[in-house]
Amino acid sequence: MTPDAWRRHARLLEAVARPRSGASVTAIALDLGYQSVSAFSQAFRASFGASPGRARLCPLRATNRPICASPTSAL
């Protein structure tokens, strides 16, 4: 894993815990250094298979995928 990929992944793991704290997706995206909510949402969906809003409602499995996400959901 490259240093940039590691940094990106670490930011997204931080984002996983924040929606459960009640923070808005916009606040989380900007706080973690994303230029836009759209960029954050795309990166989150690519890594975890669900949008940040949906992940807020669903616990994560050991695979870092929300339980309520379909295994065949589009990335």
pLDDT in tens, the chain (75 residues): 899 888 888 888 888 877 666 788 899 999 999 999 999 999 998 888 888 887 777 665 545 555 555 554 444
User: What's residue 34's pLDDT?
Assistant: 93
Type of residue at 31: D
User: What's residue 67's pLDDT?
Assistant: 54
CATH number belonging to the domain at 3-57, selected among 1.10.3080.10, 2.40.10.220, 3.20.20.70, 1.10.10.60: 1.10.10.60
Statement: the pTM of the whole predicted model exceeds 0.85: no
Which tokens in the block code for residue 8? 């990106």
Q: Is 60 helix (H, G, I), strand (E, B) or coil?
A: strand
User: What's residue 73's pLDDT?
Assistant: 47
Q: What does the DSSP 8-state code read for residue 36?
A: -
User: What's residue 52's pLDDT?
Assistant: 85
Q: What does the DSSP 8-state code read for residue 75?
A: -
Which tokens in the block code for residue 51? 């949008």
> How many C-beta atoms lie closer than 10 Å to residue 44's C-beta?
25
Which residues, including other chains, have CB under 8 Å from residue 44's CB and lie 6 or more apart? 12, 15, 50, 51, 52, 55
